[in-house]
């Protein structure tokens, strides 16, 4: 009998040891194979280029290859539909804008729950949003543009990088506030959206500022207004939507996330590695080149920001009757 009891006791102790050491062992050994980053933007876009610069240093820290897979569409939200198919093991990261978590679910039906399905790891920078037009348009500034659209219903077209993006929402909001009738032309990314403006297929581009800076400086494109809470750091002479009397502006950061069930130890290792990668001089140079505002943020602070923005956007869109709250 004593032999049986001894065996049972050893088994109990073994199970206890596994329960205590198991997760830590997993965290300590991670990663043991290549890590993929699912990016919600097209190859060659502003976000794609920055992500590639960051992952060059990230793979040195993790000591494993970090492979980017582009899944553009839905203004960066399509990639998040993969949440149900990816294992929560730390080998699949999602990189897209925070607005895809805090704003898009209020605009249309999405195959994910931003409050339950993700663990937020880090943010490297904030996007700068604005409305641009061509210099040959029949107006000279924002106020004249609004007056023109009012006098010419359904004549003015504007492009964005997708339905449900921050750039789309602010145009919906302005249109509702000003009683405008204009036509939305969505694309899968900013590269195509600005090309439509340059090619005279649309009159306006609600943008996340990036490659357009040179065209603005050369006079081919015109900066009309900042749709962020603060003035644009590159073109600070132009007003914000808040300064024009609106009670809403848009914010969105570049967010890295994993499935919510990913072990905490792995989440922490990835967060630390990302925050370190953001400091890499090459990554910093590329972020600055694309005119984003560098604003690193860890997982806890990032989650609080996303959840707060989710609540604010939900309340606003319910009040305005936009998105999924639109009256039928």
Specify the range with the lowest mean pLDDT, choosing from 3-17, 39-53, 79-93, 251-265: 3-17
Model confidence band, residue 163 (pLDDT cutoffs 50, 70, 90): confident
pLDDT at position 238 is 96
Whose tokens are 């140079």? That residue is: 285
Tell me the per-residue pLDDT of 234-258, one tens digit each, with 9 for 90 and over.
999 999 999 999 988 988 999 999 9
pLDDT at position 311 is 94
Q: Using alpha carbons, select from 127, 125, 118, 80 the residue that is nearest to residue 100.
A: 80
**Residue 203: pLDDT over 50:** yes
Q: Using alpha carbons, select from 100, 97, 67 the residue that is nearest to residue 81.
A: 100
291: which 2 tokens?
């005119």
pLDDT at position 165 is 79
pLDDT at position 78 is 87
- In degrees and rounded to multiples of 5, residue 201 shows phi and psi of -85, -25
pTM above 0.85, yes or no: no
Average pLDDT in the 293-310 region? 96
Residue 84 DSSP code: G
Rounded Cα gap, residues 43 and 201, in angstroms: 23
Taking the alpha carbons of 92, 93, 95, 101 in that order, is the dihedral positive or negative? positive
Rounded Cα gap, residues 302 and 275, in angstroms: 12
Rounded Cα gap, residues 23 and 34, in angstroms: 20
Report yes or no: 250 and 166 within 8 Å, Cβ to Cβ.
yes
Taking the alpha carbons of 217, 218, 221, 222 in that order, is the dihedral positive or negative? positive
**Residue 299: pLDDT over 90:** yes
Instruction: Kindly report the average pLDDT of the chain as a whole number.
Output: 90
pLDDT: is 71 or 322 the higher one?
A: 71
Tell me the per-residue pLDDT of 15-32, one tens digit each, with 9 for 90 and over.
444 444 444 455 679 999
**Residue 79: pLDDT over 50:** yes
Domains of the chain and any CATH numbers? 20-127+252-325 (3.40.190.150), 129-226 (3.40.190.10)
- pLDDT above 70 as % of the chain: 91
Rounded Cα gap, residues 248 and 229, in angstroms: 8
**Residue 11: pLDDT over 70:** no
Tell me the per-residue pLDDT of 88-127, one tens digit each, with 9 for 90 and over.
999 999 999 999 999 999 988 999 999 999 999 999 999 9
Q: What DSSP assignment string belongs to 217-247?
A: HHTSEEEEEE-SSS--SSSTTSPBTTTTT-S
């Amino acid at each position: 009998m004593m032999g049986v009891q001894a065996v049972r006791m050893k088994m109990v102790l073994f199970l206890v040891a596994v329960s205590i050491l198991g997760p830590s062992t997993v965290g300590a050994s991670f990663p043991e194979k290549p890590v993929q980053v699912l990016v919600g933007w097209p190859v060659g876009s502003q976000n794609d280029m920055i992500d590639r610069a960051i992952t060059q240093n990230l793979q040195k820290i993790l000591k494993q290859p970090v492979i980017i897979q582009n899944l553009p569409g839905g203004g960066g939200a399509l990639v998040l539909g993969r949440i149900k198919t990816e294992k929560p093991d730390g080998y699949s990261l999602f990189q897209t804008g925070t607005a895809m978590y805090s704003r898009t679910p209020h605009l249309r039906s999405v195959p994910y729950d931003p409050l339950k399905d993700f663990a937020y790891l880090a943010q490297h920078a904030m996007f700068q949003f604005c409305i641009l037009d061509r210099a040959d348009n029949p107006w000279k500034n924002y106020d004249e543009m609004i007056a023109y659209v009012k006098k010419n219903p359904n004549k003015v077209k504007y492009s964005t990088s997708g339905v449900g993006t921050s750039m789309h929402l602010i145009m919906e909001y302005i249109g509702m506030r000003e009683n405008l009738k204009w036509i939305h032309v969505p694309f899968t990314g900013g590269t195509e959206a600005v090309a439509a403006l340059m090619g005279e297929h649309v009159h306006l581009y609600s943008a996340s500022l990036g490659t357009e800076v040179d065209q603005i400086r050369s006079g081919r494109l015109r900066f009309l207004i900042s749709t962020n809470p603060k003035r644009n750091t590159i073109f600070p002479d132009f007003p914000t939507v808040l300064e024009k009397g609106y009670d809403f502006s848009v914010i969105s950061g570049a967010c890295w996330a994993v499935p919510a069930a990913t072990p905490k130890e792995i989440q922490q290792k990835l967060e630390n590695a990302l925050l370190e990668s953001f400091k890499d001089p090459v990554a910093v140079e590329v972020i600055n080149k694309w005119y984003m505002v560098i604003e690193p943020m860890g997982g806890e602070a990032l989650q609080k920001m996303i959840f707060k923005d989710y609540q604010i956007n939900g309340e606003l869109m319910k009040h305005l009757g936009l998105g999924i709250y639109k009256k039928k």
